[in-house]
Chain A
Amino acid sequence: DGGITQSPKYLFRKEGQNVTLSCEQNLNHDAMYWYRQDPGQGLRLIYYSQIVNDFQKGDIAEGYSVSREKKESFPLTVTSAQKNPTAFYLCASSIDPLSLEQYFGPGTRLTVT
């Protein structure tokens, strides 16, 4: 089965703790993306990576960090500097950075109390 997996589906953390969200794809896609989704809002881009060992900030990168050491993996760390981390986080990928079609994973719902 080819696709994008995100784990876990639900994640709970205490305020002040860093937490890392997993995103893995076996589609052999070059580009990967992280979005944040809040109720009643569209998806907002956090970070994106066009190729291994390279990534750029999106519209709301503050308080987040990423790495892209392997083509198939693009983990997102939500740091304690993120002021409002509770949200639904979506990972996506596309064949290459110029491809307009993005495919999404099932998401991780993070709750920070």
Chain B
Amino acid sequence: GENVEQHPSTLSVQEGDSAVIKCTYSDSASNYFPWYKQELGKGPQLIIDIRSNVGEKKDQRIAVTLNKTAKHFSLHITETQPEDSAVYFCAASKAGGTSYGKLTFGQGTILTVHP
């Protein structure tokens, strides 16, 4: 089955710096890669996703890049703010046709943005 590895497990940055979180996946058939943000005591919230037919996607201060050859994808947050502090999870899924798209999650990254 699919295996997703996420690094680093913790990341500390100063406000205004950029943050990068990386994930690798094992199944070359995976074609959907979402990123979730989880604040303390809450459920994860989908913040951005990318599909395998796209190499990069941006939404304001966040972006995701995908390298299918190397089987890794990354989350980039620019101009970080204290409210970006949370746990971030990556996930991978293969779906299409009649198959159920099970999400396999990475272990999570605790991001702390210091004011």
Q: Which residues of A are in contact with B by a Cβ distance under 8 Å? A: 4, 6, 9, 40-45, 48, 50, 58, 90, 92, 97-107, 109
Contacts and interface: CB of A to CB of B under 8 A. Distances in A.
Contact of A90 (B43, B91, B93): B43
> Nearest 5 pairs between A and B by C-beta?
A42-B105, A104-B43, A100-B32, A43-B105, A100-B101
A107 B43 CA distance: 6
A107 B95 contact: no
A107 B45 CA distance: 12
Nearest to A50: B100
B43 A40 contact: no
Nearest to B95: A100
B73 to A, nearest CB: 14
Given A9-B41, A40-B107, 7 more contacts: A42-B105, A48-B100, A100-B32, A100-B49, A100-B95, A104-B45, A107-B42
A23 B14 CA distance: 38
Nearest to A33: B103
B67 interface: no
Contacts of B32: 100
A111 to B, nearest CB: 14
11 contacts: A42-B6, A42-B108, A58-B102, A92-B43, A98-B100, A102-B46, A103-B46, A104-B36, A105-B43, A106-B43, A109-B41
A100 B42 CA distance: 21
Given A41-B108, A42-B89, A107-B43, A102 B9 contact: no
A35 B95 CA distance: 19
Interface in B1-54: 4, 6, 9, 32, 34, 36, 41-46, 49
